[in-house]
A and B are shown apart, each in its own frame.
Chain A
Amino acid sequence: MPKPKVLIIDDEQEFASTLSKRLVFRGFDSLAVFHAEHALSSIAEEHPEVVLLDLGLEGISGMDMLRAIRASGTDCVVIVLTGVADDHVFREAGEAGAADVLVKPIDIDILVERINRTHSENDRKRRHFPNRRADGSQ
């Protein structure tokens, strides 16, 4: 299975662009978006299979952005990146439709493993339930 296309949404440009380069190094097709307003349109244009979303975006609640992505109907997997390793963050992100939560600073090997895992899970579900959307609805 080819490696999934990854879109990183994070307003810390240095972080997002460096992470993107490292993913490219590891064979992923990866790009980064630095402004919340461009997030949804970029997803619509680029069709990433996996989205890495920073919860600490300026000006908009990360959770709201997560729900907006899920509501837009795209079939991508969303992995949430956050600075806070809190139970309630994990729970809320899961309920809002995130496939996984990772705490910054990130270990790249763990990130790659989670990208591959969530993507193949989503792919499998898509093949078995073609009408099913990534958030579980039909």
Chain B
Amino acid sequence: MKIRNKLLFAFGLYLLVSLSLGFIAYQGLDALTNTQRLFFYVLIAVALLGAVLTIRLAARIANSIRNLDRAMKKIATGDSETREDSAQKDEIASLETSFREMEARLHNTVSSLELAVRNLHEKQEQLVASEELASLGRIAAGVAHEINNPLSIINEKAGLIRDIIRSAGDIPHKENIETTSKSIIDNVKRCRAITHQLLGFARHMIVTLEEFDLNALIEEVTGFLDREITEKRVRIERNLRAGLPSITSDKGQLQQVFLNIIKNAVDAVPEEGIVRISTGTKNNTGLAVSIQDNGYGIHQKVLDHIFEPFFTTKTKGKGTGLGLFISYGIVKQLGGNLTVESEIGRGTTFRIDLPFRVRLVGRKGEDAETESAHY
């Protein structure tokens, strides 16, 4: 029943009682008959009943308001609490129900916001990492591009010296000059390999996605290294998980990564060495590849620097020191991770983790595309 009606009822009772009391007082209590005196006592009782009803009603209203107030304070401090349902079905009960609904919706909204903030933080970290990589790529491309000009000049000048000397008759030091100029040209070719690799690194800021089978890609890459593998009689052990879920990523760039790491493994093992390649899933979030060799192994001091640019332990002239640096950058940009473990005397294992699907951080890819067009 509505509160208003409850109040009207109580008020009506009071009115009736007051009028009656007035009448009785007017008559004087002694002048009453027994029946009338009985009626008087009944009226007093009714008045008391009315008072009790009204006080209870007031108390109930005050209590509900206090409860709501306390509940609201708890929400403000981040607490949540369940309350019992109100027994009566009046406006107070309705208010409490509405309030509880609002509280539930507020709670859901807060949870959604917290999730959204977490996602944003993640995206921001990705963007920063991607921006750093893009800056690095731009610097690398700029340096490579600038160096190409004087490099081309050196190439032509040394070439001209060689041309002149070869066509000269018998002159002193002819052979010496010829071999020296050839050496200059060979070293220019080394520089060119580095600048091209740096320029290639800059281009990797552009990612092209497709869905493909990682096992098939690894088989393809192993095929490229067939000559080296057969020459050294290296044994390739394949532990490729059957029915591996397909991956959506940049196939061309991953091809480069696997080529780099598998070739390193083949180079690291002795004659008839073993390279073990395994694929599988990781945590249901992505794929995991491991490339293990039974070569000599890598010292911890070297491992600490192994992903740095221009860091190589190969003899001069072999390798640019950029392979692992670029591979690391590619894997990170594709949302994955590249790690290495090694034990001296036992060998080295490279692990590549990749998500099933690359989550691109959009804008940088477009920027890099515009950049490289200017070169």
Binding site for B on A (CB under 8 A): 12, 14-15, 18-19, 21-22, 25-26, 56, 83-86, 88, 103-106, 108
Contact = CB atoms under 8 A, between A and B. Distances in A.
Contacts of A106: 152, 155
A15 B153 contact: yes
B159 to A, nearest CB: 6
Contacts of A56: 375
A105 B152 contact: yes
B233 interface: no
A85 B160 contact: no
Contact of A104 (B148, B163, B167, B189): B148
B176 interface: no
* Most chain B beta-carbon neighbours within 10 Å: one of A18, A85, A88: A18
B152 A15 contact: yes
Interface residues of B, number: 25
B67 interface: no
B159 A104 contact: no
B375 A19 contact: no
A83 B144 CA distance: 9
B193 to A, nearest CB: 11
B151 A22 contact: no
11 contacts: A12-B153, A15-B156, A21-B160, A85-B199, A85-B200, A103-B196, A104-B151, A105-B148, A105-B155, A105-B189, A108-B159
Contacts of B242: none
Nearest to A83: B148
B167 A25 contact: yes
Query: Interface majority SS on B: helix, strand, loop or mixed?
Result: helix
B157 to A, nearest CB: 6
B156 A22 contact: yes
Contacts of A19: 156
Interface string B134-166: 000000000001001101111111011001100
Contact of A105 (B151, B160, B203, B375): B151
A25 B148 contact: no
A86 B163 contact: no
A84 B199 contact: yes
A108 B185 CA distance: 11
A105 B148 CA distance: 7
B251 to A, nearest CB: 15
Nearest to B151: A105
B163 A105 contact: no
Given A83-B375, A84-B199, A22 B163 contact: yes
Nearest to A20: B156
Contact of A18 (B153, B188, B203, B373): B153
* Most chain B beta-carbon neighbours within 10 Å: one of A84, A86, A105: A105
Contacts of B163: 22, 25-26
A117 B138 CA distance: 36
Contact of B149 (A12, A21, A25, A88): A12
A85 B148 CA distance: 12
Nearest to A18: B156
B159 A22 contact: yes
Nearest to A17: B156
A108 B188 CA distance: 13
B372 interface: yes
Contacts of A84: 145, 199, 372, 375
B155 to A, nearest CB: 4
B182 interface: no
B332 interface: no
B160 to A, nearest CB: 5
Contacts of B159: 18, 22, 108
Given A15-B156, A83-B145, A105 B372 contact: no
Given A83-B145, A85-B196, A85-B199, A14 B153 contact: yes
Nearest to B149: A12
A19 B153 CA distance: 9
* Most chain A beta-carbon neighbours within 10 Å: one of B152, B154, B155, B200: B152
Nearest to A63: B373
A35 B153 CA distance: 18
A26 to B, nearest CB: 8
A19 B157 CA distance: 8
